[in-house]
Amino acid sequence: MILSPQTLNDMPFFDFHLHPTLKCLFSEDDAANNHVKLSPWTPIDTRNVPFLLRCCSDFQYILASQGNLAQLVYNDCNLVCVALYIPEKDMLTDKMITQAEQSKLGVYLQEKKITKIINGNPYQLLMKDDWQTLTDAAKFRITDKKIKVIRRRADYNENDRNTLHVVFSVEGCHTLSTALQNFSVPDILKNLDTLRGQLSLLSVNLTHLENSPLCNQAYGMQFLSNDGFKPIGNGLAQGGRQVLQYCYTNKIMIDVKHLSLTSRLQLYALRKTPEFQAINQPIVCSHAGFTGISINEKADYLYNQPRSFTAGYTLVWQGKPVKYGSSARPSFNASSINLYDEDILEILHSGGMIGLSLDKRILGFQDYEQESSGRSDYPLETEYVSNKEMAGFLDPQGTGNAVTIGQAFEDGKCLGWDEILDEGTVNPSLAEHHTRYFMAHVLHLIVLAQNEDSGLDVNRVLQQVCIGSDFDGLINPIWICPTADSLEYFKDQFEQDFTDFADESGVRLPNDFNINTFADQLFFENGKNFVLNRLDVLNGVA
């Protein structure tokens, strides 16, 4: 695995979305079972991943400590937004998790603690575990580094390279509930009110991966099959609108990651009403990937007619859009958990921020494999869409016209297996290829801003994108940056390759574009400035 030099960088790093304490959540001090609370400073030992999973899958990389506290501070991550999160019940009760508890992974997935989470109060567990584990980090610390929770601009010191400065988001309103799968809006708002009094809360994801009565989610769970992860709702329900209005009234932003397409479109429409225009806050997507296409193009990338199930969801297979580069072209993931062009423009026009995920599936990467869907020439992304939202998914303009399926395959706009084979095996020694997937996202942002109808200034847009890695969640990271240890190497590679990639793609960069200046903005300055400005807003300074 590629590691960056352990030297002081010219510029520190920022991350808009990560979970440095999540891998500790499933453990506690339990002398009777010879268990101890895991330290957020200590990496997961992937030798505990069962042999077959290590050899036949990427699970050792998914389960690895991609961004624990030691990795973050030692690699000059000076300012981060920590996502406060309690896993959903359908995740914790899945057979895959219960089997892992009985394996060597049981040292990390302690059955007794997981049972407490399932039967307990998520908000209380959040404050006892995630929050307390982070703020009491000195209890675990084995280094000279430290954590500092900041509430205002004056609390922050960019030159203090021994300190990780922390602000917060909440990933999913189920985390604010009093019991898993109990979505009492009054309880959520009460806990939200208490929470924002204790810390700097920048944003809230209304939902995460599991069905919620507040709003419908985009399908995002790839390795667990429980039906609870397959969307069956219809946009923003009244409870979701109540939480939205509370957040905006209290200057808390809404993170649109994990919202279904219909939910997002309804949110954008609400923002244009007189009621919301007076309280609107910037829109953010903290750990994003792009579809690379417009909402109106999505039917072109469907392989065949969607298949509806009586359980309330529809199965769709989607091709992978290709727009930039030559051979081999990086692709996008067209699933609706990612941002369509219209989503991106809404965020940019709102003055918001996009954090780019470092999850290789979200960024569109596809390993070569035997395709099981019956299509031998193209890789396909599997997605489930709520039956109630399917008409709007296929025809978002509501024209009522017949929808043409799959035209992009005929027009050569989808990645094929032949191009993937041309790439060769992507592993740490060939990690630079993953950089192309990340660069394609940055290039797409520039292309959208350069469109004469966008109403955007490209130089301003280049200040509205940052890193939102999702490290120490359940992501399968790109090889160019598998952990925070590789951030400096990743940044250096981006600086070396980006202008050449733009030339190869036929995209003209702004006349005054400087790759070194932009890399500093992308990896640190943009996120830092955005967070400090939001702290001013929360404290009534701006």
For residue 3, the model assigns a pLDDT of 36
Give the integer Cα–Cα distance in Å for 130 and 166: 13
pTM of the model: 0.95
Q: String of b and e for 398-411 (b: at least 16 CB within 10 Å)?
A: eeeeeeebbebbee
Contact 474, 59 (CB under 8 A): no
CA dihedral 106, 109, 110, 113 (to 10 degrees): -170
In a domain, 494, yes or no: yes
In a domain, 4, yes or no: no
In a domain, 519, yes or no: yes
Task: Determine the residue type at 129.
Answer: D
For residue 66, the model assigns a pLDDT of 93
Provide the number of structural domains found in the chain.
1
In a domain, 243, yes or no: yes
CA pseudo-torsion sign 309, 320, 58, 37: negative
3-class secondary-structure state, position 541: coil
For residue 238, the model assigns a pLDDT of 97
The conformation of residue 182, written as its DSSP 8-state character, comes to: B
Residue with token string 């939205």: 244
Quick count: other Cβ atoms within 10 Å of Cβ 541? 10
Task: Determine the residue type at 301.
Answer: Y
User: What are the per-10-residue average pLDDT scores of the chain (542 residues)?
Assistant: 43 96 89 82 80 61 88 95 95 81 79 92 91 79 84 96 95 95 95 95 97 96 87 97 98 98 98 97 98 96 92 95 89 97 98 97 83 67 96 84 88 89 62 89 98 93 98 91 95 96 96 96 98 97 82
Q: String of b and e for 13-45 (b: at least 16 CB within 10 Å)?
A: bbbbbbbbbbbbbbbbeeeeeebebbbbbeebe
For residue 82, the model assigns a pLDDT of 97
In a domain, 5, yes or no: no
Give the integer Cα–Cα distance in Å for 1 and 520: 24
The conformation of residue 359, written as its DSSP 8-state character, comes to: B
Give the integer Cα–Cα distance in Å for 324 and 329: 6
For residue 344, the model assigns a pLDDT of 98
The residue segments making up the domain with residue 321 are 13-538
In a domain, 1, yes or no: no
Instruction: Give me the sheet containing 381-386, strands edge to edge.
Output: 307-308, 313-318, 381-386
Contact 217, 232 (CB under 8 A): no
CA pseudo-torsion sign 229, 467, 488, 14: negative
In a domain, 7, yes or no: no
For residue 418, the model assigns a pLDDT of 83
Structure tokens at 310: 């009586």
In a domain, 3, yes or no: no
CATH number of residue 358's parent domain: 3.20.20.140
